[in-house]
Amino acid sequence: MTGVHRIDAITLTTPDMAASIAFYRTVGFTISFGGDDSEFTTMSIQPNGPHVNLISDHEADRTPASWGRAIFHVDDVDDLHRRLVATGYQPDTEPADASWGERYFAIHDPGGHDISFARPLDK
């Protein structure tokens, strides 16, 4: 039996492709496909993923019906928080150690999606 090993990509709608690309570039993603003027863009951490697909919300044929959150593990939560703030983004929370064993912070991307960046706490 073959099990699921990881999520390869998530696809998020965006009202402003260029703004979303700028946000994910600040996080550390690069464009693998598409760009500022595209209706669909793939942003990647490595050639083989993980990937964030961005689709213009007027191209998406669905309206979001419920809430969700994407959580990305990063090497340095505090450094990423500082970089995002320095670039003009406003995270929802400051970096903090959570009771479930991660250091994290939350932010909404330019498409309004709830995103968290975290790293496991050393035991």
User: What tokens does 30 get?
Assistant: 């690069």
- Mean pLDDT over all residues of the chain? 87
Burial label, 46 (beta-carbon count in 10 A; 0-12, 13-18, 19+): exposed
CB count, 10 Å around CB of 5? 6
What local confidence, expressed as pLDDT, does residue 28 receive?
Answer: 93
Architecture of domain 9-59+69-120: Roll (3.10)
DSSP string, 59-90: T------S--EEEEE-S-HHHHHHHHHHTT--
Burial label, 62 (beta-carbon count in 10 A; 0-12, 13-18, 19+): exposed
Q: What is the pTM of this model?
A: 0.82
What local confidence, expressed as pLDDT, does residue 69 receive?
Answer: 84
Domain residue ranges in the chain: 9-59+69-120
